[in-house]
Amino acid sequence: MNTVLTRREFAAFAGASLLARPALAQTDTLLMRAIPSSGELVPAVGLGTARIFDNANEATRAKAAAVVQALVANGGRVIDTASTYGDAEIVMGAEIAGSGLRDKIFIATKLESPDPSELKRSLNRLKTAKVDLLQLHNVEKRSQSLAKFKEWRSQGICRYIGVTSTFHRDFPAVEAVLRREKPDFVQIDYSLDVREAEKRILPLAAEVKAGVLTAIPFGNGRLFRAVRGQTIPDWASGFAGSWAQFFLKYLLADTRVTAVIPGTGDAKHMIDNLGAMRGPLPDAKERAQMVSFIKAL
């Protein structure tokens, strides 16, 4: 696996002036997307927590406080975490409960199995009696059932259920479970340079009316490495005020995507990411141009 390059490191290499152009004009209109199974609207940019908040020390808690506050203050709601992300549930749970923001946050978490003890542990760590989205993490077998998750949904422990995988080798299993179980959400690996989900998962998600969360939208820093030292192309300046927005808006221009969930421990980057909910999205021609641009690097 390539070494992850954060935006702070990227800026050190490229120079702050190359990281982003002047921000697009701010508007009061934020991009919201409807959850297909209910019609509920959620902001289209959220927060991922993998490998960022996995240690519940003082420094991590301080980062979490700043990022969560920035998320909510700038129109975001969705926070995605998991029982296996180290202490991320503990860190997020403490911040959300301590700041009184529970009613402003759409909490999504993941379990490795339909184990009641794992669920109880996650709820305790998140300091909440229920979550908004409960996902079966890393689906790898076609036969995996969501019966227990559906039971928990009927009991009000969660409002929505879903499945996840960032392993393309497991897409056949994800497809089988999607068709049979028809969950409310599917979370997959999807980025400007990794687009297999466009052909396989997104069409099926639309067919079964499942919302789509896109994990790893920056390719674990791979996309920032690819554009190191470059400015945003002139033809993209009308819709992207930074490279982060360039990458995120490619995904959001596909209306089948409910929300992108880039991870960050930096409040400024959180605000930058949320900027992808403002202003125009690239059209089909511009999206094709974005793909060609990245392929040519």
| pLDDT, averaged across the chain | 92
What pLDDT is stored for residue 8 in this prediction? Answer: 52
Q: Quote the CA–CA distance of 162 and 181 in Å, as a whole number.
A: 9
Alpha carbons within 13 angstroms on the beta-carbon side of residue 219 total: 17
- Strand locations in the chain (E): 32-34, 41-43, 47-48, 78-80, 106-111, 131-136, 158-165, 185-189, 211-215, 259-260
What pLDDT is stored for residue 4 in this prediction? Answer: 44
Are 144 and 173 in contact by the 8 Å Cβ rule? The answer is: yes
Q: Is the pLDDT of residue 264 over 50?
A: yes
> What's the whole-model pTM score?
0.91
Residue 199 dihedral angles phi and psi, to the nearest 5°: -90, -30
Mean pLDDT to the nearest integer, 113-135: 98
User: Going from the N-terminus, what domains does the chain have, and what CATH number goes with each?
Assistant: 41-295 (3.20.20.100)
Strands 47-48, 78-80: parallel, antiparallel or unpaired by DSSP? parallel
Q: Quote the CA–CA distance of 200 and 172 in Å, as a whole number.
A: 9
Q: Is 15 exposed, middle or buried (0-12, 13-18, 19+ CB in 10 A)?
A: exposed
Q: Is the pLDDT of residue 20 over 60?
A: no
CA–CA distances in Å: residue 239 to residues 73, 216, 247, 279, 281: 22, 21, 11, 6, 6
Q: Is the pLDDT of residue 2 over 90?
A: no
* Dihedral angle sign, alpha carbons of residues 68, 71, 74, 77: negative
